[in-house]
C-alpha cells in the first residue's frame, strides 16, 4: 500500500532549537481530498520536515497510501502520485525525526493503517503517548505484532482488541487506555475523526470549506485552501464527521482543565496562526513588550535572530524606543543543500544559514532577540558573528524563560544534561556565552503576554510550561519507570 523515496539526513546545522515533531491534517466531503491534504501539509511543513504521508479512501480502489521522506513540495505535488490517492476523505501527516531516532525507517512514517472486521481505519498523530512503552509491552505479551517503533501504532492494536461494534467506538475504547499529550486525525471509509488529549496540550482546529470539513494542527493550514476557521477541538474532545457532513462530539476522557503548550505561542506555531483565540504574531510581539519592561538595557539597535525572534524584537523595540533593524539575514534557500557536509563545511556552521549586515551593526550596542536558548551553541556563534561585524556590545534578550527541562509531549528536546539552563544560572549562562548581558522573559511575563493579566496564577487558566517549570501536567510514566524524577503537578 505504500512506497518510499530515499531519506535525506536531518539538517546538520539546525540542532540548537526545540523541534515540534509533527503536524496533522484531515479532509472529508471534498473531491480529490488528498490534494487539499497535500496543500495543508505544505502549510504545516514547519512542524516536521523529515517525512510526510497521506491516506485516502475511494469506493472503487479502497484505501490508498503514499508515505515519503522529504518535503511535501518535493513529493505530493506530482500528478502521478496524487492520482493514486483518489476519494473524498483523506488524512495526512508531516514528521520530524528526533535525535534519538536517527535512521528512522519508512515504516515509522504516518498515517498508520489497520484492517478491522468492520472495515479499515487510518490514523496519524502529533504528540506523545506517555505510557506507550508500557502499553506496547502489554500488547506484545498478548500477541500483538508491531510493525513500527511509533507509539501511534499502540492505538491501532488497542482498537483491534476492543469488542465495540464500530470503529469510532473502538477508538474511544483505545483512547481510554492511553495517557499523554496528543492530537489525532483518523479516518474510516466514510468518517473523519479528530481527537485532542484530555488537557489539550497539542493543538487541533476544525475548519469548513464548502460542504467539506477540515481538521488541522494550525489555522494557517486552513487559510492555504481557503477554509473557514470554525473552532478549536476542545481538550478531551473527539469529533466524528460522517459522509453526510454531520458532526458528532464525544468525550472519551475524564474532564480536566486545559493545559495547552505555551511554547506553541513562543516558537512552534506559525505567526499567522490563531491559537487559543489569539494571534500568534501578536502574542510574540507582546512577549517583546514584556521583555523590554522586565529587562531594559541601553543600546543602539534591536535586532532579531531570524526568523522566529522577529515579532518579539519588534515588540521590544516599540516598547523601549530603541531602533529596530534586520542586522542578521537568513538564507531562505539553505534547506538541505549540503546532503553530506564535509568537516570543513560543518565548521562553517551557522554562517551558512545566517549572515550579519555589517553596515548596520558596526559600532553599535546591539540587543539580539531570540526565541530560546537550548544548548547555547548557536547563540555563541551568533555573538561571534556580531562582534566580528564590529558591534561594540552584545546583549541577548530571550523570548522564553530558561529551558531547563525536557519535553515528553512530542517535542524533540536534548536530554537534561545538555540543556544549558539545567546546568547554569542566568549569570553563569551570560558568562558562558560571553555577552554583555543575558536576560530571559520570566514565566509570569510570558503568561501576561498570552493574555493572563496576573501572570502565572494557579487560579487562572494554566498552560503546559513543563520545559520551563519542571511541572509536568501529565506524568511521563515511561520516563518515570526509567528513573526520571519530575515534579508532577497533578
Contact 129, 27 (CB under 8 A): no
Q: Is the dihedral of CA 450, 453, 456, 459 positive or negative?
A: negative
Is position 465 annotated in a ligand binding site?
Answer: no
Binding of ligand SF4 by 305 (CB under 6 A): no
For 148-175, b where at least 16 C-beta lie within 10 A, e where not — what string?
A: bebbbbbbbbbbbebeeeebbbbbbbbb
263 in contact with ligand SF4 (CB under 6 A)? yes
Looking at residue 324, the DSSP 8-state letter turns out to be B
Nearer to ligand SF4, 253 or 472 (CB): 472
d(CA 311, CA 313): 5
Q: Hunting for cell 522577529 — which residue is that?
A: 310
Nearer to ligand SF4, 15 or 173 (CB): 15
| 162 vs 117: CA distance, rounded Å | 11
Q: Counting contacts by CB under 6 A, is residue 465 touching ligand SF4?
A: yes
Give the sign of the dihedral formed by CA 307, CA 297, CA 398, CA 389: positive
94 or 407: whose CB is closer to ligand SF4? 407
Choosing from 123, 429, 467, 474, the residue that interacts with ligand SF4 (CB under 6 A) is 467
Q: Is 430 a catalytic residue?
A: no
Site residue total, ligand SF4 (CB under 6 A): 12
Taking residue 481's Cβ as centre, other Cβ atoms within 10 Å add up to 11
Decide: is 466 part of the binding site for ligand SF4 (CB under 6 A). Answer: yes
Integer Cα distance of 9 and 101 in angstroms: 12
Q: Considering only residues 366, 464, 477, 478, which one is a binding residue for ligand SF4 as defined by CB under 6 A? A: 464
For the CB of residue 397, give the shortest distance to ligand SF4 in the complex, in Å: 20
Q: What x/- string results for residues 387 through 416 when contact with ligand SF4 is judged by CB under 6 A? A: --------------------x-x-x-----
Q: Among 5-13, 255-263, 367-375, 416-424, which window interacts with ligand SF4 (CB under 6 A)?
A: 255-263
Is 121 a binding residue for ligand SF4 by CB under 6 A? The answer is no
Dist. CA 382–CA 146, nearest whole Å: 44
Which H/E stretch holds residue 51? strand 51-58
What is d(CA 275, CA 451) in angstroms, rounded to the nearest whole number?
A: 12
Q: Which of 193, 262, 275, 389 binds ligand SF4 (CB under 6 A)?
A: 262
Strand-pairing partners, residue 208, are 213, 228
Name the segment binding ligand SF4 (CB under 6 A); options: 9-17, 48-56, 103-111, 258-266: 258-266
Q: Which residues are annotated as a binding site for [4Fe-4S] cluster?
A: 261, 407, 464, 467
Residues that bind ligand SF4 (CB under 6 A): 181, 201, 261-263, 407, 409, 411, 464-467
Residues with catalytic function = 22
Q: Which residues are annotated as a binding site for Mg(2+)?
A: 308, 370-371
Amino acid at each position: 500500500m505504500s512506497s518510499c523515496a530515499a531519506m535525506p539526513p536531518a539538517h546538520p546545522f539546525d540542532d540548537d532549537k526545540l523541534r515540534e515533531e509533527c503536524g496533522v491534517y484531515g479532509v472529508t466531503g471534498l473531491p480529490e481530498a488528498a490534494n487539499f491534504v497535500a496543500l495543508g501539509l505544505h502549510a504545516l511543513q514547519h512542524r516536521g520536515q523529515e517525512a510526510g504521508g497521506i491516506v485516502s479512501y475511494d469506493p472503487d480502489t479502497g484505501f490508498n497510501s503514499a508515505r515519503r521522506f522529504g518535503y511535501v513540495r518535493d513529493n505530493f505535488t506530482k500528478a502521478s502520485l496524487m492520482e493514486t490517492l483518489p476519494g473524498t476523505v483523506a488524512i495526512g501527516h508531516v514528521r520530524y525525526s528526533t535525535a534519538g531516532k536517527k535512521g528512522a525507517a519508512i515504516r515509522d512514517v504516518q498515517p498508520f493503517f489497520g484492517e478491522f472486521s468492520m472495515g479499515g481505519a487510518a490514523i496519524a498523530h502529533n504528540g506523545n503517548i506517555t505510557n506507550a512503552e508500557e502499553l506496547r509491552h502489554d500488547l506484545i505479551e498478548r500477541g500483538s505484532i508491531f510493525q513500527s517503533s511509533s507509539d501511534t501504532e499502540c492505538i491501532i492494536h488497542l482498537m483491534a482488541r476492543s469488542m465495540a461494534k464500530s470503529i469510532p467506538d473502538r477508538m474511544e475504547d483505545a483512547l481510554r487506555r492511553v495517557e499523554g499529550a496528543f492530537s489525532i486525525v483518523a479516518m474510516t471509509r466514510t468518517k473523519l475523526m479528530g481527537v485532542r488529549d484530555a488537557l489539550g496540550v497539542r493543538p487541533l482546529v476544525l475548519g469548513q470549506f464548502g460542504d467539506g470539513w477540515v481538521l488541522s494542527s494550525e489555522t494557517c493550514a486552513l487559510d492555504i485552501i481557503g477554509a473557514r476557521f470554525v473552532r478549536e477541538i476542545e481538550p478531551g474532545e473527539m469529533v466524528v464527521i460522517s459522509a453526510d457532513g454531520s458532526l458528532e462530539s464525544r468525550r472519551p476522557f475524564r474532564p480536566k482543565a486545559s493545559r495547552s503548550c505555551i511554547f506553541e505561542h513562543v516558537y512552534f506555531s506559525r505567526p499567522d496562526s490563531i491559537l487559543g483565540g489569539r494571534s500568534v504574531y501578536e502574542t510574540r510581539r507582546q512577549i517583546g513588550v514584556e521583555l523590554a519592561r522586565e529587562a531594559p538595557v541601553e543600546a543602539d539597535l534591536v535586532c532579531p535572530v531570524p526568523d522566529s525572534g522577529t515579532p518579539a524584537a519588534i515588540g521590544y523595540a516599540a516598547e523601549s524606543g530603541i531602533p529596530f533593524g534586520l542586522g542578521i539575514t537568513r538564507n531562505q534557500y539553505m534547506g538541505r543543500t549540503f546532503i553530506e557536509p564535509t568537516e570543513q563545511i560543518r565548521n562553517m556552521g551557522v554562517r551558512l544559514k545566517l549572515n550579519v549586515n555589517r553596515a548596520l551593526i558596526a559600532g553599535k550596542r546591539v540587543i539580539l532577540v531570540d526565541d530560546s536558548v537550548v544548548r547555547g551553541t548557536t547563540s555563541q556563534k551568533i555573538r561571534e558573528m556580531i562582534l566580528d561585524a564590529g558591534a561594540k556590545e552584545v546583549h541577548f534578550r530571550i523570548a522564553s524563560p530558561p529551558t531547563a527541562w525536557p519535553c515528553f509531549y512530542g517535542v524533540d528536546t536534548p536530554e537534561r544534561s545538555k540543556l544549558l539552563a539545567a546546568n547554569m544560572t542566568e549569570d553563569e549562562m551570560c558568562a558562558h556565552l560571553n555577552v554583555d548581558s543575558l536576560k530571559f522573559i520570566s514565566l509570569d511575563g510570558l503568561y501576561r503576554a498570552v493574555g493572563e493579566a496576573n501572570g502565572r496564577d494557579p487560579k487562572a487558566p494554566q498552560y503546559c510550561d513543563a520545559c520551563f517549570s519542571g511541572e509536568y501536567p501529565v506524568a511521563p510514566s515511561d520516563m518515570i519507570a526509567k528513573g526520571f524524577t519530575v515534579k508532577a503537578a497533578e
